[in-house]
């Protein structure tokens, strides 16, 4: 096992901190740096594993900082953005329509509509309106009016 350059180590550690699998990290290192690494070599850079316990403190700190940022900042992940997802769906629907695949086009349009209507979120829209969609009417009673209305309501219940 050849010693890895610091930039390769940093790449491996940051990839592992973002929960990439050993094989994905190995392939990415090969593609990015032209260096072939084994899954065992990749795993040795994960401080959460027994094989990564001897990692230098600066690498452990890099791992922990990257993981913390990854878990709190989803805005860096394009697919987590609604506009990005709609843009991709639009491109896909255009291609499906050009291929005369109307069933797929319809599915993609439906998915985009659900995306716009927040079907893929845990948010709920609650609208309150009064009679015929108008504003909700409210009334303020004086203390005496309240007591009188309460008495009348109680008397009606006795029947």
Residue 124: the pLDDT is 61
Angle in degrees, 0-180, between the axes of helices 57-72 and 6-17, rounded to the nearest 10: 40
Claim: this prediction has a pTM higher than 0.85: no
In this structure, how many other beta carbons lie within 10 angstroms of the beta carbon of residue 64? Answer: 14
At 115 the pLDDT is: 86
8 Å CB contact between 62 and 15: no
pLDDT in the model for residue 15: 95
Report whether 8 contacts 33 (CB < 8 A).
yes
The rounded Cα 139 to chain-centroid distance in angstroms is: 44
- Over the stretch 87-141, which tens digit does the pLDDT of each residue have? 999 999 999 999 999 999 999 999 998 888 866 666 666 667 777 777 877 778 8
């Amino acid at each position: 096992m050849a010693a890895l350059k610091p930039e390769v180590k940093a790449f491996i550690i940051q990839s592992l901190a973002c929960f990439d699998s050993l094989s994905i990290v190995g392939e990415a290192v090969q593609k990015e740096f032209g260096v072939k690494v084994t899954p065992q070599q990749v795993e040795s850079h994960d401080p959460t594993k027994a094989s990564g316990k001897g990692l230098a403190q600066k690498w452990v700190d890099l791992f922990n900082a990257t993981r913390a940022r990854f878990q709190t900042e989803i805005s860096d992940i394009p697919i987590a953005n609604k506009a990005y997802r709609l843009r991709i769906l639009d491109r896909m629907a255009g291609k499906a329509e050009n291929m005369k695949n109307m069933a797929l086009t319809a599915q993609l349009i439906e998915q985009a509509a659900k995306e716009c209507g927040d079907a893929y979120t845990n948010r709920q829209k609650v609208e309150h309106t009064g009679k015929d969609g108008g504003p909700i009417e409210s009334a303020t009673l004086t203390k005496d009016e309240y007591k009188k209305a309460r008495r009348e309501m109680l008397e009606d219940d006795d029947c």
